[in-house]
Copies of this chain bind each other. A is one copy, B any other.
Amino acid sequence: MTLNVGVIGVGMIGQDHIRRLTQVLSGARVVAVTDVDLNRAKAVAGELAGARIHENGQDLIGDDDVDAVIVASWGPTHEEYVLACIAAGKQVFCEKPLATTREACERILDAETKAGRRLVMVGFMRRYDDGYRAMKDTIARGDIGAPLMFHSAHRNATVPGHYVSDMIVNDTCVHDVDIARFLLDTEIVAARVVKPRRNSNAADHLTDPLFLLFETADGAIVDVEASINIQFGYDIRGEVVGESGTVELAESAAVLVKRAGGYAGRIPEDWRERFVRAYDRELQEWVDAATAGRSTGPSSWDGYAATVVCDSALAALRSGERVEVSLREQPELYR
């Protein structure tokens, strides 16, 4: 009952998922890989006993030995591969984004809805983090009353050279958007973006930091500080304010050290360190579900909503105005 997984795209994140499946998790093996760079695919396959190399994603998806697929290729290719998986009736784990345009996401919703069952899980790994799960449980238990606000801060020490300005919304804040939807269990209906004074550590072409302000369907407010060159570490903060209490992420340091006039705890270096367990759980849960023929986790609808909200935030950033978010009606399948 081992799940045979094919991996499309074996760059950094694809290789990390392969490592996870082969060295960390239970119940899966990687039987096929492909990549836009076939040499890279060959190099990765060489490390895996008996993994086949495919010329392209379509061939990999069509391989009868492949039970389920991980899509970790370049964003603009996601739509094609996810649609092919749906057509083939194979469970697919698609790294964010589900697709890069609203229209592409909608085509996926249509295809999956037509297929009549969920086949797609989107890689919003924060939903598998101990902290956010405990926040959601706290809200669900009614410990803080109905949620009214969510304050989120997304702080990166630095960003790589290829990082461009839209990525602060599409790649960085998309996680805050998804986790806000998850925690508050409602849709985002409007976005505003304010540009604070620039961080002089940021590259000239980047607008950093940003302050995003969202409204949800039930009137709650979500504010997101995005600071992508804050130097000191990868610092993810979150607090939900309810009618009679609040719940916030605790610091994650395992030890406190006293020396030189103070006590101190470590802040993670990057997202790998901060969310390592969330990534592990996310993929294990997908493997378990796919093996059992079930769907789980963030759906195509979640991927679609995140893309549309980010589009609206980018429009708000450009116009300086409040921009409404319009989602199509949610299909029965995702309720």
Contact = CB atoms under 8 A, between A and B. Distances in A.
Nearest to A267: B262
Interface string A15-28: 00000011111110
Interface in A138-171: 138, 143-146, 148-149, 151, 153
Interface of A is mostly: mixed
Interface string A63-82: 00000000000000000000
A46 to B, nearest CB: 15
A223 B247 CA distance: 19
Given A219-B196, A221-B194, A241-B227, A262 B259 contact: no
Given A26-B26, A196-B221, 12 more contacts: A1-B49, A130-B254, A131-B254, A134-B255, A149-B196, A196-B219, A197-B221, A211-B223, A261-B266, A262-B267, A263-B265, A263-B267
Contact of A253 (B143, B245, B250, B267): B250
Interface stretch (A98-106, A172-180, A231-239): A231-239
A138 B288 CA distance: 38
A254 B259 contact: no
Interface in A167-205: 194, 196-201
A244 interface: yes
A198 B221 CA distance: 11
A233 to B, nearest CB: 5
A23 B2 CA distance: 11
Nearest to A199: B243
Nearest to A150: B196
Contacts of A328: none
Interface in A246-261: 246-251, 253-261
B232 A148 contact: no
A197 B223 contact: no
B259 A143 contact: yes
A176 B225 CA distance: 19
A141 to B, nearest CB: 10
Given A197-B220, A213-B194, A255-B248, A151 B151 contact: yes
A261 B266 CA distance: 6
A209 interface: yes
Nearest to A253: B250
A135 interface: yes
A255 B131 contact: yes
Contact of A197 (B209, B218, B230, B231): B218
